[in-house]
């Protein structure tokens, strides 16, 4: 085959990699919905099956300050289609089962035993459709004594060891400033689904995938676990600094806030010393090697604080960058939005908030050069907004849909006040 014959034709304008893939989600909060959000951003048709009360994430953090919106729900559900099904009713359960069997992927993060009791577990569905990819996300896994415990991000941060190493030296354990276990589980789950879709496309075989917040939270700490295996000693809480290298992730106060620097490699250390006008410091006895700098970190940081504290963050960044030193300005959210680098990355996208307004939210942190076409603004689905549409595409007649809605077996959006809606199912 010639090189010319091996060239692939370009994708149609705007066609994303997962176009044509159908995903059914039975999800709550972040880990499950976050995984399917990634798939939706890559072009998958994600159908979110909700109870008449909806995903609990719809109510998380809602207040007058948020204008009646849930930041959590907007962040992890844009571009999906919402259908309300009362699975307490046999006919509703049959609808959910039919939709699941029409999908390529099913994702659920329900409490332990719920999906099995409904006959919507991996064994039941894959017995009918072996090509199905079925994904379960739990708090602590399904094989241990904690399999029935409710699992939220904070519990995983605590029980994975993560909180034990996070915090100031001599202080109490701290959680991360965002739900890192939930979000990382969403990303790990999406990776597993993509691998299974690749095999499914090549062989037609499905897969049963399980993951947990606990497993992902532990896996994220791989480097620290490796160091623990080498030393046999509990890693200490060390604040912003890294305990084994210096200067590394160390925080320095400047005129308008803080910067962090990393210059623990010998050549980087020499560059830092030159940048602050003290090249002789690179070979001075207390700081000549990394181990010496770790032992004498307090004295080291006092010197660096005096040398850089008179600058603004941007001035310090410019100075250190000129000398090839890794530096970061600690920015507020408003400053992040204003950053030229962030704007150039186009990571933020406009999203319809489902209530007649728009918000700017982070999207995929990567781009597809062969799918650059204009795409519609993704919308946060209102509860039951797509019930009729999804059922019609699944083969239900207009009469059947009307009857199901009238009987309260499925819910549909009943518009009020222009764009807001309620669900008809009881």
* Whole-number Å distance between alpha carbons of 64 and 42: 33
Q: Is 368 helix (H, G, I), strand (E, B) or coil?
A: coil
Decide: helix, strand or coil at residue 388: helix
Measure Cα distances from 356 to 78, 226, 381, 403 in Å: 14, 50, 12, 30
Beta bridge partners of 258: 253
How buried is 17 (Cβ within 10 angstroms: 0-12 exposed, 13-18 middle, 19+ buried)?
A: middle
Nearest to 364 by CA among 388, 382, 348, 344: 348
DSSP tag of 245: S
User: What is the CB neighbour count within 10 angstroms for residue 318?
Assistant: 12
What distance in Å separates the CA atoms of residue 400 and residue 405, rounded to the nearest whole number?
9
Is the omega angle on the peptide bond into residue 339 within 30 degrees of 0, that is, cis? no
Catalytic residue among 104, 182, 352, 353: 182
What residues pair up with 361 in beta bridges, in sequence order?
349
| DSSP β-ladder status, 81-85 and 410-411 | antiparallel
Please state, in angstroms and rounded to a whole number, the distance separating the CA atoms of residues 209 and 192. Answer: 7
Q: Rounded to an integer, what distance in angstroms lies between the CA atom of residue 229 and that of residue 233?
A: 8
Tokens linked to 406: 């009238």
- Integer distance in angstroms from the first to the last C-alpha of the chain? 62
Question: What residues have CB less than 8 Å from 373, skipping those under 6 apart?
Answer: 12, 13, 14, 15
- Decide if 400 is catalytic: no
CA distance 346 to 353: 19
Give the residue among 171, 185, 240, 241 at the shortest CA–CA distance from 213: 185
The alpha-carbon radius of gyration of the chain (Å, integer) is: 26
Chain centre distance of CA 299: 39
Is 275 within 8 Å of 247 (Cβ atoms)?
no
- Give me the active site residues, please: 182
């Amino acid at each position: 085959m010639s090189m010319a014959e091996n060239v692939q034709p370009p994708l149609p304008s705007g066609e994303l990699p997962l176009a044509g893939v159908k995903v059914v989600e039975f999800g709550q909060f972040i880990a499950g919905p976050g995984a399917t959000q990634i798939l939706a951003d890559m072009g998958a048709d994600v159908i979110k099956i909700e109870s008449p009360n909806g995903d609990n994430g719809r109510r998380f953090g809602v207040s007058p300050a948020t204008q009646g919106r849930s930041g959590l729900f907007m962040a992890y559900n844009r571009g999906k289609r919402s259908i309300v099904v009362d699975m307490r009713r046999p006919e509703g359960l049959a609808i959910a089962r039919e939709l699941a069997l029409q999908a390529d992927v099913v994702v659920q993060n329900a409490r332990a035993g719920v999906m099995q009791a409904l006959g919507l577990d991996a064994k039941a569905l894959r017995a009918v459709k072996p090509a199905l990819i079925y994904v379960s996300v739990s708090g602590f896994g399904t094989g241990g004594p904690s399999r029935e415990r409710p699992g939220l991000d904070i519990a995983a941060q605590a029980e994975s060891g993560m909180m034990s190493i996070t915090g100031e030296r001599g202080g109490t354990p701290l959680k991360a400033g965002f739900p890192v276990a939930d979000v990382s589980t969403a990303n790990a789950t999406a990776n597993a689904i993509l691998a299974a879709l690749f095999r499914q496309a090549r062989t037609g075989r499905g897969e049963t995938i399980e993951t947990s917040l606990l497993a992902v939270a532990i896996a994220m700490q791989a480097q620290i676990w490796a160091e623990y295996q080498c030393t046999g000693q509990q890693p200490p809480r060390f604040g912003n600094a890294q305990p084994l290298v210096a200067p590394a992730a160390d925080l320095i106060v400047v005129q308008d806030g803080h910067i962090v620097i990393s210059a623990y490699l010998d050549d980087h250390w020499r560059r830092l010393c030159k940048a602050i006008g003290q090249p002789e410091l690179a070979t001075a006895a207390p700081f000549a090697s990394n181990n010496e700098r770790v032992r004498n970190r307090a004295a080291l940081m006092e010197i660096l604080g005096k040398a850089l504290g008179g600058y603004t963050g941007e001035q310090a960044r410019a100075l250190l960058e000129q000398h090839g030193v890794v530096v970061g300005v600690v920015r507020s959210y408003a400053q992040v939005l204003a950053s030229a680098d962030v704007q150039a990355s186009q990571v933020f996208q406009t999203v319809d908030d489902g209530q007649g307004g728009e918000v700017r939210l982070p999207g995929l942190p990567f781009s597809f050069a062969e799918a650059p076409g204009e795409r519609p603004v993704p919308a946060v689905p209102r509860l039951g907004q797509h019930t009729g549409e999804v059922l019609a595409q699944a083969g239900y007649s207009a009469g059947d849909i009307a009857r199901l809605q009238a009987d309260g077996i499925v819910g549909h959006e009943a518009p009020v006040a222009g764009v807001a809606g309620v669900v008809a199912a009881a």
